[in-house]
Each structure stands twice: as structure tokens, then as C-alpha cells.
Amino acid sequence: MTTPLAEAPLWTPDALIAATGGTLHGILKPITGASIDTRTLQPGDLFFAIRGEARDGHDFVRDALSRGAGAAVVEAARAGEFAGAGGVLAVPAGADDPVLGAMRRLGQAARERTGAAIVAVTGSVGKTGTKEALRHVLAAQGPTHASLASYNNHWGVPLTLTRMPAASRFGVFEIGMNHGGEIVPLTRMVRPDIALITTVEPVHIEHFRSLSAITDAKGEIFFGLEPCGVAIVNRDNPNFSRLLAHALASRAGRVISFGEHPEADVRALRIVLRPDLSIIDATVMGIPVTYQLGTPGRHVAMNSLGVMAVVHALGADLARAALSLAGLKPPVGRGERTMLSVGDGEAVLVDESYNANPASIRAALATLASLDIGSRGRRIAVLGDMLELGGSAEEHHRDLAQAVEASGIDLVFTAGPLMGHLFEALPLSRRGIAALNSADLVDPVLGALRPSDAVMVKGSNSIRMGRIVEALKARYASPESGRESSKAAAP
């Protein structure tokens, strides 16, 4: 995402040729964006015909050009297939996908030409929400470019770089990984001035020997820091010392810690959690700051300390950032709330369906517990399998029973064979329905909902828990669905 800048082409023909080593064929339209997907392509986008796991982007080049793409980047050997269709940038063959390689080179050129202060964010949990919070607060202080959605992998990061206008003041990039070594090439491409790790938890443990190995993989983000850059780490995390060692071994000129720990540089002195917001009293490098956070949840409040650490490191306005955080709303699938019209009353839907791991499910259950449902309401959790947990998957799912109990959840529905282990660990009074897939839960969940209930939906992406959210909205969406009920918002 980018705040409005003076209208100018994102890339000129000469700049495209210089960065990619390609050859132009046909007439290019002004390039104002970049895309790899014709379904979301906008007129003026530079379309990259990369090879995906299931499809080859070259099969969509003519469609992209007919939809108004400024030009298409294609392999030189296939450029002849698109003669007369529109502007084409033919790039030479390389060691891997030539078009993906060209997108990387263009992304590197975008990084080279900008004077923006660049922030990179990673972490086992909360990186997308933290990236969005940074985008939100920095956009109020200058032209800001940030990753869309969770564009944090081998194609998402270079695509985001390619889209960055040269006149940006701030750039915020999310960097993710599933395996060790994946962050290194991405952080070296982004070359952040500031790198932030939200936290380290047993996520993607299937691909790692231990939590220490995950910590080392997250610590890779500091390898790409610009000289005298700033490393920001979570002081409360049990892996702090290991993360600090990575930061000190990098080119960082300074390390800033955040958390509730007495030695944290950005420290929460008091966190007041309410159903619809949080209030934080903190010190930022010794400066007292009190702010309201428009997105509820302790985990969000903790990550907001990291946001304030970034703002301070950038030399941006802390007071303006604090005011901006009051207007922060959760991204879709990450805590978004919708009022549902059920019978003669209302229920609240908490959409956490984007993804799931043990830490994020516990955080979501704690947030559900904070909702004031009155005397008639129930707290209902609809949970799908958590993936990439390796040999300890059954244990991680079963152990959630303690969090369910601690959060006072009244009813639990589960989707997937792994969540079945949680279901079996629950007392009969808390069991709803256990199904093998999310589709089989739609009707039972819809039928169980009553006025004053609060229902939270969460699971790994491939379990498709979003279909339950869509069904609830389709059946029960209130005419005032953008408004939270007075009970849900009560302090």
C-alpha cells in the first residue's frame, strides 16, 4: 500500500531495461504498478509472467495486456508468442525462473533508488498486524509504502519492492519463512534500516530441530541490516538472549528491546484490556507515553510497543504515532469483528480465520474471554487444525484444552483430525461438534448460535475456516454489521 504521491510513472522504459537486462518489444503504456495475478491486475500494471507451482504466467499474458497492463515481462524465448498483443519486456534466461529473476532485479533497483527509511518485520506471530500498524502510523507522517496482505515470501517481497515509488518516505516490509535460510536473501534484498522481530514461538516446527533453530532462522533478518541500522527485539521472549546475539553479530549500530521486562527500552508500565480497545502506559527510551489502541488483545498491545520502538528509531513523531494507534483496526481474518443479527438479539463474530498456531490461538482465546457477553451469552470457539507442527502436533493441539478452560470458553467446535485431540481432551460440557473438515461444521455452527453469543473462528489457511465466517455473515449479518454491540464494547 502506498499513500498518494505526485503522479509519475513508477518505471520508465530505460529504467526497466537497465534493471532487468531485458529487451522491449511493442509499445509500453505508462507503468504505474506491478502484478503477478490477472484477477487483481490494474490498468498500468507491469505484469510478471512468473511460473507458479500449478500455472505458468505466460498463459495469462494476453489476458493481462487486454485488461490494460502497461507491459508484460516474459521469457525471451517466448516473446514471439505475444507479437501484436501489447508491450513486452523480454528477459534473458537465468538459473531459475527468468521472469522471477527480473522481478528481483527490479526490486533491488527500487531499493537502490529510494531515499526512504526501510523497516523489515518478521516473527512467529503478529508480523502482519505489526506491519499494518506501522503502515497506519507512518502514513500519517509521510508517503508510506508497505507490503499488501502477507506478501512476505520469495515473490511477495520483490513484488512489493518493485511497487515502491521512489518518492516514498517510509517503506515497511513483512518477511516470512518456513525453513531456515529463507529470510537471508529477502532481508539482503530489502536492506532494512530497522529490523523488528515480534516474537519467537513453535511455528513451522515441523521443519526445524528445535525452538532454538526457529530463533536462529528469525534472527537472519538482522543479516541484511544497513550499516549502523537498528535491531528491535522482544525483551519478554524466552529466546531474547539468542536473538540479541544475532543482532550484535550483525551490522546493527543499536539494539532496542520492548516488552514488560524491567530492562526493556520500550516498556509497558500498565496495559488496560477492554473488549474493543486497549490502553497502554509506557516509556519509550525513558519518554512517558500513554496511548489508546483501537485493536483489542494483549498480544496486539505488546506488539504496539515494537511499533513505538520503530517510530522512535526512525526519529518520527511519537505523539502523532500514539494518536494514530487509536484508529487502528484489525486486518480481515485477524480479529475483525462483525455484529450478527440472531433471533431477537445480536451476536458478535470475531474473524481470526487467516491462520493459526499454538501462540496465536491462545491469544485469540484470551481476546474472546475479554468480551462482555452478558448473562445469556456464551463464548464459542470454532477451531481448525494447526499445521507444520511435526511430531508434536497432537500434543500441541491437546494442550490447548488448558487455554480453553482458562478463557472460560463455553463451547468448542473443531475441524480436522488434529483438532480432534483437543476435542477429546475437553469435558463433555464444552464439546460442540468435531468434524473432519470445515465444510461439515458450517451447519452445526450456524444452528448453535444464539443471541448475545460471541463466536471466534480460527485455523490454518488450508483448513479453510473462512468458509464458516462467510456462512455466518451470509446468514446473520446485521444491517449495522460494522458496529460492535454496546455489550461487546462495554468496558
Tell me: the pLDDT tens digits for 341-382?
Answer: 998 899 999 999 988 889 889 989 998 998 888 888 999 999
Residue type, 224: G
In CATH, which superfamily holds the domain spanning 13-97?
Answer: MurE/MurF, N-terminal domain (3.40.1390.10)
pLDDT digits (tens, 9 = 90+) for 147-205: 887 799 999 999 999 999 999 999 999 999 888 899 999 999 999 999 999 999 877 66
The domains of the chain are located at: 13-97, 114-325, 336-476
The percentage of the chain sitting over the pLDDT mark of 90, rounded to a whole number, equals 79
Q: Which CATH superfamily is domain 336-476 in?
A: Mur ligase, C-terminal domain (3.90.190.20)
* Greatest CA separation for the chain: 70
Domains 114-325 and 336-476 share a fold: no
**254-259: strand order across its sheet:** 144-146, 170-174, 117-122, 194-197, 230-234, 254-259, 266-273, 278-284, 287-293
What local confidence, expressed as pLDDT, does residue 94 receive? 78
For residue 222, what pLDDT band results from cuts at 50, 70 and 90?
A: very high
* pTM higher than the cut 0.95: no
Residues whose CB falls within 8 Å of the CB of residue 424, separated by 6 or more in sequence, listed in order: 398
- State which fold the 114-325 domain adopts: UDP-N-acetylmuramoyl-L-alanine:D-glutamate ligase (3.40.1190)
pLDDT score of 414: 97
